[in-house]
Structure 1
């Protein structure tokens, strides 16, 4: 008996990279997987801004049949602005890949009929042996539900009520938005899992958001394939991914301090934002 004997149907809330990583991996296990994404059409390519980390490269090669070297480019250094406005450069040899290249590879690896774009999930209800996903006027019972709807997740509180994002004290230039941290204290509520940025919003300095999502999917794939039962597999997955997410988040905070981003002004900004509320 294997873990997948207790799970045959999977519903994924969110069809961006985290949702697609899980959909492709679990389809490879022979599970009946459906993805619901609220937006329509394929998103823009978004440039070559993702560092190609080991789990993403392995996933593309093993699950998508894509040679990561053929869809990425090398860089030799990073440039950033310090707190006093000076531009600084540090040597850093890496491969970078576009968001669109990863998305395209994942979509190509997933049967088209399993991806339902323009169909937002309107409700998600946990049950003793799975969950019920509501889309429009229809309800779909699944053995496993995966929340992968990003940093602004509607359904995060079903798993970790205290995991809402908090202002980190400074603005990320790349997105020109206030930088936030979100840390899940749980990633599982029975048969509902919290993955990707819905679980941990890590700072961009780590270059690890996409890698973390791929790692979530790979670890779930391996746990379900190896564990003697579904519950054991999901418990193992949660333990491993909570530890990894917390480590990456600590790394982001430490990098922010090293880059002088968590100075007095940042602390004051965080205090002001807290006083004003959401």
Structure 2
């Protein structure tokens, strides 16, 4: 049964994934009356994706007294050139985690009575003093609405229909495999490394271990996470790859279990361009999934009393390893700006927007640079 919602809030957050929980936690610990609304009535499924740990995320988790983030680690960065077999290794300690682990940690720090599942927010009206929000057939008022509803944000589409969205010309295939399901030789090969493979014909793949089932981080209980960037021009081939098993053309990604047979054949037919260990890893993956790589640059992050945060604002390329960190940084900066505005939400939002717009543009440009460098044919 849905939890009761107060008739007036200081801040309502639309979206209960990582971005929404970052915002909710940061604002609550800053002293604001904030509630988070997630439109799914069920527990959000694990996105099955690995994430490189960045300081901004750890800072937020520590600040809000959430459960520690489950992480794995390595000490070596290794790059292999598939065409020649050339290998380069560098000592470079790194920490890794997963979408599931981040969500679990952030959710542990946010009170149940302020988290509402099965509640889709709609913006009904706004004035200089606040917003009127529809939720579950009722209306509530809030001083501020923070949209954290992800890459295909409905609020961004409504408030900034002229947002620049650009397909980068390649896709990211992803997969995770339980460590216990892999051959011991393959586990040993990838253990303690952040591994990269420059594929023949251009593009690259990477892999690293992440927490496994139950957020296990010890040897034997982890998962091996991989990403493979492949050039695909806009057109019929891309349309085929982004069409799921039911025939629905997806915009951003096709999740685990929904990949069509044609898309799976496309992936496995290209494993010969990888080094032998990477090829075996991809072939051992039961449910690969795919996302199109895009750049999204909104004209603004603040629209009256509505703010866009995380992927609902800028979408940056995965090479930056910055999506979760950006959501955390946006959230901490928002809490700081609102606290410094002495209850003037409009002024606080404007101050925050000026800072974070610059950060967002820089991250998009950085992602473009990394993509062009790593995807050279």
TM-score (normalised: structure 1) = 0.82
1:202–1:249 CA contact under 8 A, matched in 2: yes
Mean CA deviation greater in 140-149 or 174-183: 174-183
For the residues of structure 1 that align with 2:315 and 2:330, how far apart are their CA atoms? 14
Mean CA deviation greater in 100-109 or 44-53: 44-53
Structure 2: gaps spanning 5 or more residues: 1-7, 175-288
- Indicate the structure with greater helix content: 1
Following TM superposition, the consecutive aligned residue runs of length 4 or more in structure 1 with deviations greater than 6 angstroms are 79-90
Structure 1: gaps spanning 5 or more residues: 1-6, 264-278
2:17–2:103 CA contact under 8 A, matched in 1: yes
Q: Secondary structure at the match of 1:143?
A: strand
For the residues of structure 1 that align with 2:81 and 2:290, how far apart are their CA atoms? 16
For the residues of structure 2 that align with 1:203 and 1:85, how far apart are their CA atoms? 28
For the residues of structure 2 that align with 1:118 and 1:88, how far apart are their CA atoms? 50
Say whether 1:191 aligns with 2:191: no
Partner of 2:58: 57
1:216–1:241 CA contact under 8 A, matched in 2: yes
Match of 1:243 among 358, 363, 373: 358
CA positional deviation for 1:27:
1.2
Partner of 2:15: 14
Partner of 1:276: none
Q: Deviations over 1:205-257 (max 9, x none)?
A: 00000000000000011112223443332111001110111111111000001
Q: Secondary structure at the match of 1:165?
A: strand
Counterparts of 1:18-97 in structure 2 under 5 Å? 18-46=19-47, 49-68=50-69, 71-77=70-76, 91=90, 92-97=92-97
Q: Secondary structure at the match of 1:172?
A: strand
CA positional deviation for 1:67:
4.1
For the residues of structure 2 that align with 1:19 and 1:146, how far apart are their CA atoms? 8
Say whether 1:111 aligns with 2:226: no
Partner of 2:332: 218
Partner of 2:173: 173
CA positional deviation for 1:188:
0.2
For the residues of structure 2 that align with 1:86 and 1:240, how far apart are their CA atoms? 45
1:124–1:134 CA contact under 8 A, matched in 2: yes
Q: 1:153 to 1:20 in 2, by over 3 A?
A: same
Of structures 1 and 2, the larger Rg is shown by 2
For the residues of structure 2 that align with 1:46 and 1:127, how far apart are their CA atoms? 37
For the residues of structure 2 that align with 1:88 and 1:30, how far apart are their CA atoms? 52
**Cα RMSD (Å):** 2.7
For the residues of structure 1 that align with 2:116 and 2:84, how far apart are their CA atoms? 45
Partner of 1:234: 349
CA positional deviation for 1:124:
4.4
CA positional deviation for 1:157:
3.3
For the residues of structure 2 that align with 1:75 and 1:46, how far apart are their CA atoms? 22
TM-score (normalised: structure 2) = 0.61
CA positional deviation for 1:136:
2.8
Q: Secondary structure at the match of 2:154?
A: coil
Say whether 1:256 aligns with 2:371: yes
Q: Secondary structure at the match of 1:256?
A: helix
Q: Secondary structure at the match of 1:258?
A: helix
